Amino acid sequence: MSSALRVGLVGYGVGGAIFHAPLIAAHPSLRLAAVVTANPERQQQVRAEHPEAAAVGDMDALLGRELDLVVIASPNRTHAELATAALDAGLPVVVDKPFTPTSLEGRQLIEHAAAKGQLLTVFQNRRWDNDMRTVRKLLDDGELGRVHRFESRFERWSPTPKPTWRDSGGAEDVAGILYDLGSHLIDQALQLFGQVAAVYAEIDCRRAGVRADDDTFIALTHASGVRSHLWMSKVAARPGPRFRVLGDAATFTKYGLDPQEAELRAGRVPVDDTWGREPEDLWGVLGVGDDVRRVPSEAGDYLAFYDGVVKALRDGTPPPVDPADAVAALDVIAAARRSAAEITVDRLL
């Protein structure tokens, strides 16, 4: 443990408590040293769940401690400010998605990290989902042929809004499903099919009393010619397929969500090779017409993100996620918002 990198975590909501803290605590080269939360109940939760970590009330108290890395998992609107404070303290930084409220702030933060000589990366954990890794393998193996359409969904059934900034917040809170789940779907599409040339979007608030979008569709035209259709919703009583990838040789269809979030919520951590695996009846299907076969799902591996962070800090390798990728996704989000407001296609190229 003496050689483990000491990590300060900012925020202990869903992102901090469910994702980052358990993954940091499970990693053999990391030690959760301190957690920032001003909420007394969450401070007690930190002490109960991670007794080795100090629970502190603000950023100043955190930055006064001996640390090797800061992870920002605070509300979206605070990401840029808090990441800047950590960089100014001479510390490398992981920022949860969405990286920053705007692409301009993202570019400024990247420039600031470079000026300080510090690592900066973004927690785009869904790159390590089992289904995403399976699709990437199928593409690499040429199983689909030339892809012309990529369909991707994060659809949930949550008809009653929660009294949180994610549902009730407005633009000033960087709230809504486009920033929340859309950050993942857009990042995956960019990773698989490259730069986006044009964006069309439909952005709606369906539930009474919410200001943040809860039912959104985006159509991306990639420079490669692939079209990505992305759905994100909290009002889908029955979800569509998580992925449907159409190529000139075959189609791949996959239902169900990667199991890692559910495992983390249940208190499991990635300590053995059963992590991130799903039963055969949840595997996707590849083929043409009735001539199909089940494709074994690759194992999900969120801990690989922190493997990449450790390697970058110790060996000087590139970070697991280039923050410029997150800026590109923010450009797409901005284009989607313009498209929905103007009922038109927004061209990026």
pLDDT digits over 249-275, tens only? 999 999 999 999 999 999 999 988 899
Q: How does residue 171 score in pLDDT terms, banded at 50, 70 and 90?
A: confident
Do 265 and 206 share a structural domain? yes
Average pLDDT estimate for 222-229: 98
Q: Is the dihedral of CA 120, 126, 130, 134 positive or negative?
A: negative
Mean pLDDT of the chain: 96
- Domains in the chain, number: 2
Percent of the chain with pLDDT over 90: 94
Do 196 and 60 share a structural domain? no
Q: How does residue 172 score in pLDDT terms, banded at 50, 70 and 90?
A: confident
- Position 318 scores a pLDDT of 97
- Position 296 scores a pLDDT of 97
Whole-prediction pTM? 0.95
> Is residue 308 domain-resident?
no
For residue 2, pLDDT over 70 is answered with no
Q: Dump pLDDT digits (tens) for 113-137.
A: 999 999 999 999 999 999 999 999 9
Do 160 and 275 share a structural domain? yes
> Is residue 311 domain-resident?
no
> Is residue 326 domain-resident?
no
Do 178 and 262 share a structural domain? yes
Do 297 and 163 share a structural domain? yes
For residue 1, pLDDT over 50 is answered with no
Q: Which CATH number characterizes residue 141's domain?
A: 3.30.360.10
